[in-house]
Chain A
Amino acid sequence: MKQYARSEFLNRLNQKRRRGEPLIMGGAGIGLVAKAADRAGIDAIFIYNTGPFRMDGHGSLAGYLAYGDSNQMTLDLGRHVLRVVEETPVIGGIGAADPYRNIDQLLDEMMRLGFSGITNVPTVGLYDGTFRKHIDATNLGYPEEVKLIERCRRRDIFTSAYAFTPGECRMMAEAGADVISPHVGLTSGGLIGAKEVPNLDEACEKLVAMCEAARAVRSDVIVLAHGGPFEDPTSVQVAFDRTPVDGYLGASSIERLPVERAIKNVVEEFHALKLGRRQPAP
């Protein structure tokens, strides 16, 4: 495990940016995925409470319902993942509306464990309508996530922020987020992917608008494509071609979908083998 100071972390990313290489970051809900991604040279590993649900074969959205202490889940997962990662900075999610924890103490604990950065997950960006208005107005909503990013910046902790609208991109850029991931919707594809997602054209348009909003505040902010139809290298190439993003942040696409595919293929290959000659069963 290596823990990176914010400046070291940014240097690593900016060197790649200068060389014109895309930044690739991904989520890990189990240690094995983190280990494989680390050895493959991924630029950062994200861990948060939706990961374990996803890797147990459930929808990631289970992490947005009241069936667990999200911050405790991230701390527990951190203990598994940080041990098996050698070179890669690990970023941990914090649910900013935690009613039981002091956020500064939680940050202390996460830094002690070896995290190199923080992200706003679970994020209330997934909720909308009346419920969202209600939580935003009662100290349980997105403003708390903006404050979380501000707090990390004051403490010189690296941050990556999910944002869902140009306005949220602007707020997060102002708060000092090092990375912004405009979220264009839940990821499609596979056995338990979201059914209704924006098409590639719409997603690229949204992405451009959110990129521009973030960079109007700070031209150096790193922006990564995420979610929606960006589910595999082919669709992400379209985002790279049509939008000014610096790279890609995948969760389902970097762990769930590849594992589903690989296991299916290898089981089919084994099943296709032919048994050798033997005595007929009695």
Chain B
Amino acid sequence: MNLRDILERLADGRRQRRPMICAGVGSGVTAKGAVEGGADLLAVYNTAVYRIMGLPTALAFLPYDDANRLTFEVLPQVIAVAGSTPVLAGIGAHDPRVDLERVLMEVAGMRVAGVTNEPFIGIYSADLRAHLEAAGLGFGREVSLVRQAVIHDLLTLAWVFDSSQATAMVEAGAHLLGINLGLTTLGTNDPNRLDQAIQALQEIIKAARSVRRDVFTLIHGGPFSDPETVAAALRATGADGYVTGSTAETTPVRSGVADTIRRFRSGQAQPRRHAKNEE
């Protein structure tokens, strides 16, 4: 499917007021589950790869692997099961040894619909981001990635953390914005935090739409950790959808496996007790 068809399909969903779901996946099996559940898009990036390995996702922002190598290792498994669901590749744009144009050519050579700027430096403090920017390793490289990908007719999901990043990415031509409210905090039901998060989203969405009215806006992270809070946030902000994280990958996998093991265990325990009684 080419870029125009994908965008048309996504716009159809929006007209039917169906929330767009982009599933962040780190393995073939979770990609398969997401496709069966009807995900509109799949995205592969290093945070997802870490969590599926049972490792903390914060490693995605520490120097223990080459983020792009991780993505390219897992991409083929996901593409193999994606069917007609478009796949996005998470590309870390900051590696000074890497020419972005060459990475994009490599991506374009695979059956990939587009790219997303993950890992992103938006996760770090403003101070460190300023230092990175001064060293040529900053958000500017992420904007270049999106701008060049658009030229190559690749679908782009741009992760942003605030209004100025959102504006820059929409100006660069990003088709979808992933509005990231930081690391997902599971089990937070503090209404103040929810209100603050919704307000932050509203501001960012307003800034993005003032540049291009039809940009797709997806929310992610912060206190949005289950379908109910996400639905409430979508209603309150008018955002077009949600990018799933651990919420639709590690959390259901772990609880599903744990429940199944418990059921097997409880089934096994009984005959043993009987056997003992008979002795």
CA distance A134 to B47 in the complex (A): 15
CA distance A196 to B131 in the complex (A): 8
In the complex formed, the residue of B with least CB distance to A197 is: B131
A66 x B63 contact (CB < 8 A): yes
CA distance A37 to B3 in the complex (A): 56
Query: Beta-carbon contacts of B49-85 to A below 8 Å, as 1s and 0s?
Result: 0000001101111111111100000000000000000
Chain B residues closer than 8 Å to A132, beta-carbon distance: 125
A127 x B128 contact (CB < 8 A): yes
B58 x A129 contact (CB < 8 A): no
B62 x A97 contact (CB < 8 A): yes
From B56, B59, B92, B134, contact of A65 by CB (8 A): B92
CA distance A8 to B145 in the complex (A): 52
CA distance A53 to B182 in the complex (A): 29
Cβ of A138 within 8 Å of any chain B Cβ, yes or no, is yes
CA distance A60 to B95 in the complex (A): 12
B63 x A59 contact (CB < 8 A): no
Instruction: For residue B120, give the distance in angstroms from its CB to the closest CB of chain A.
Output: 10
Chain A residues closer than 8 Å to B125, beta-carbon distance: 127-132
Cβ of B273 within 8 Å of any chain A Cβ, yes or no, is no
Which of A64, A69, A98, A196 has its CB near the most chain B CB atoms (within 10 A)? A64
Cβ of A192 within 8 Å of any chain B Cβ, yes or no, is yes
In the complex formed, the residue of A with least CB distance to B119 is: A66
B62 x A192 contact (CB < 8 A): no
B58 x A134 contact (CB < 8 A): yes
Cβ of A258 within 8 Å of any chain B Cβ, yes or no, is no
B134 x A66 contact (CB < 8 A): no
From A58, A95, A97, A138, contact of B97 by CB (8 A): A58
CA distance A53 to B137 in the complex (A): 12
B64 x A98 contact (CB < 8 A): yes
In chain B, positions 175-218 with a C-beta closer than 8 Å to chain A are 182-183
From B61, B65, B96, contact of A62 by CB (8 A): B96
From A60, A61, A95, A99, contact of B55 by CB (8 A): A99
Cβ of B135 within 8 Å of any chain A Cβ, yes or no, is yes
Chain A residues closer than 8 Å to B58, beta-carbon distance: 131, 134-135, 138, 140
A65 x B63 contact (CB < 8 A): yes
Cβ of A3 within 8 Å of any chain B Cβ, yes or no, is no
Given A69-B64, A131-B61, A195 contacting B94 (CB threshold 8 A): no
In chain A, positions 68-84 with a C-beta closer than 8 Å to chain B are 68-71
A131 x B123 contact (CB < 8 A): yes
Chain A residues closer than 8 Å to B64, beta-carbon distance: 66, 69-71, 95, 97-100
Instruction: For residue B258, give the distance in angstroms from its CB to the closest CB of chain A.
Output: 21
Cβ of B46 within 8 Å of any chain A Cβ, yes or no, is yes
A194 x B65 contact (CB < 8 A): no
Residue total for B at the interface (Cβ-Cβ under 8 A): 37
CA distance A70 to B59 in the complex (A): 12
Cβ of B127 within 8 Å of any chain A Cβ, yes or no, is yes
Cβ of B230 within 8 Å of any chain A Cβ, yes or no, is no
Given A95-B64, A130-B125, A134-B58, A66 contacting B96 (CB threshold 8 A): no
Given A58-B96, A134-B183, A66 contacting B62 (CB threshold 8 A): yes
In the complex formed, the residue of B with least CB distance to A61 is: B135
CA distance A196 to B128 in the complex (A): 11
CA distance A122 to B61 in the complex (A): 12
Cβ of A160 within 8 Å of any chain B Cβ, yes or no, is no
CA distance A97 to B64 in the complex (A): 8
CA distance A53 to B98 in the complex (A): 12
Chain B residues closer than 8 Å to A49, beta-carbon distance: 63
CA distance A192 to B136 in the complex (A): 9
Cβ of A27 within 8 Å of any chain B Cβ, yes or no, is no
Instruction: For residue B70, give the distance in angstroms from its CB to the closest CB of chain A.
Output: 8
Interface residues of A (CB under 8 A from B): 49, 53, 56, 58-71, 95, 97-100, 122, 124, 126-132, 134-135, 138-140, 186, 192, 194-196
17 other A-B residue contacts (CB within 8 Å) besides A66-B65, A66-B66, A132-B125: A56-B96, A58-B135, A61-B132, A61-B137, A65-B119, A65-B121, A66-B62, A67-B95, A71-B64, A97-B62, A129-B126, A129-B128, A130-B182, A131-B61, A135-B58, A140-B62, A192-B135
